[in-house]
Amino acid sequence: MTVIDANRMHEIEGRYPEYFHRSFRQRFGGLMIVIATLLYGLYAVWFFDLPKLFAEAHWERVGIYLSQWVSYDVQPEFRIQDDGTIAVRYPRFSPLGDNPHPDWVVDNPDGSITVAVSGTGRAVTISKSETIVTADGVSVPIDVSSGAPKVVGPVPAWMTVYDDNVLADLGFAGDVSISVDRVKIRKRFLGWANFVFDTQSSFFDKPVGEVISLIVSGPRIKPDQSNLSLAFDDIWNNSEWQHGDVWTKLFQTIVMAFLGTLLGALAAFPLAFMAARNITPNRLLNQILKRFFDFLRSVDMLIWALFLTRAFGPGPLAGSGAIFLTETGTLGKLYSEGLENIDNKPREGIQSTGAQTVLVHRYGIMSQIVPVIVSQTLYQWESNVRGATIIGAVGAGGIGLKLWEAMRTNANWENVAYMVILILIVVFLFDAASNALRHRLMGSRTH
């Protein structure tokens, strides 16, 4: 075992003081960061009152909204007439069309009607004096012959009794509302109803094979228009899904992002040369332009969109202008900082040959700054596709406005899902295209 005397120990401490004489920050810095993070987390919980927020949240609505994204419902209403017959009515704009006869509504020989709410044994049988709801292996009769509906026997947990109404919640399958003279059923189906052809189309409710046969070789449905053209018109002008309007608004969003980013880059490029200290040795001009960039980018794109919609009215022009103003500030700052960080040696070497200023910038500066310009511009272009969707919600045009209109109704969540999926696909495609262009232009593609 090696023994180190005091002199040798002092010599080692003097040679490596960073290991033997660590500051308070070096010794306890990590622990202090952990403690500060925990304290901030506790403060955030208290400030936002998170326990109360979570306790009072309507979590059941999450499942309802998500189910409506991937499903639709049909709401037949069964009215009991004075003569004992039962009349069936559907909403005016029913997904089943104007004259529906679904196979899950069955007329019984005794005059009653049985409705299969789901394929798992959940059904409703309606007669003049009684309605029977079957679910979870239990049949619950409700007497409707007197002044108010009355449940005969014990009331199950999935059924709620009110003064003049009985509500049976059958989960995702739907629900049943029972009163003395009518029974209203909400039956839910997975999928998007009439996504291709709406109920007014000549191809509505036809099998896929029949539709293809009509388009390829069938007789013309309208003498003055081919079946292929008619099918495209019916899809494009689908009144329920509005494919034509949605895709047009989506294209507007893409154009807004591209135009705003392009104009912002074109405006920021020359201004950045004047804002860079090493390119334009005028401190006053440098500071004025940099503060101008700060002003443009400090006002959020959404705020610019609000201003411009008031000035020019709602539409894609206001959206493009909002992106243009924001990108002029953002790209101007990025370009000028890139210029200030270039290596001056190539520039000075070209200047020493007596070359003109344009050539000095072209060969001494641009060769260094182009990768930064390309990378940042493409990233902002990709980001602005998402931003254009948000500003559309305040009237700046594009699919954002369409999405906001669908959400405001609180009833067209399947249309919301459709537009959200389209936006995700577009963002994914633009992200992939941006990365591919960036790698190709910067010469960094890997093979």
Contacts made by residues 367-370, CB under 8 angstroms, sequence distance 24+: 368/342, 368/343, 369/335, 369/338, 369/339, 369/342
> CA-to-CA distance for 51 and 217, rounded, in angstroms?
65
- Report the residue count for the chain: 447
Helices and strands (DSSP H and E) totals, the chain: 16, 13
Q: What is the pTM of this model?
A: 0.79
Q: What would the 3-class secondary structure string for 251-284 be?
A: HHHHHHHHHHHHHHHHHHHHHHHHHCCCCCCCHH
* Distance (Å, whole) CA 239 – CA 200: 8
Residue with tokens 């304290």: 39
pLDDT tens, N- to C-terminus, the chain (447 residues): 566 666 666 666 666 666 666 667 777 778 899 999 999 999 999 998 889 888 888 887 787 788 888 899 999 999 988 888 899 999 888 888 888 888 899 999 988 999 999 877 899 999 988 999 999 889 999 998 887 889 988 999 999 999 889 999 988 888 999 998 899 999 999 999 999 999 889 899 888 999 999 998 888 888 888 999 999 999 999 988 999 999 999 999 999 999 999 999 999 999 998 998 888 888 899 899 999 999 998 888 889 998 888 888 888 888 899 999 999 999 999 999 888 887 777 776 777 777 777 777 776 777 778 888 888 888 888 888 888 888 888 877 788 888 888 888 777 889 999 999 999 998 888 888 888 877 776 665 444
DSSP 62-98: HHHHHHHHSEEEE--EEEEPTTS-EEEE--TT-TT-S
Classify the C-alpha dihedral 326-331-334-335 as positive or negative: negative
Q: What structural domains does the chain harbor?
A: 73-190 (no CATH), 243-442 (1.10.3720.10)
Intra-chain end-to-end CA distance of the chain, in Å: 56
Q: Are strands 77-80 and 182-190 parallel, antiparallel or unpaired?
A: antiparallel
Contact at 8 Å (CB) between 360 and 409? no
Beta-bridge mates of residue 78? 88, 183
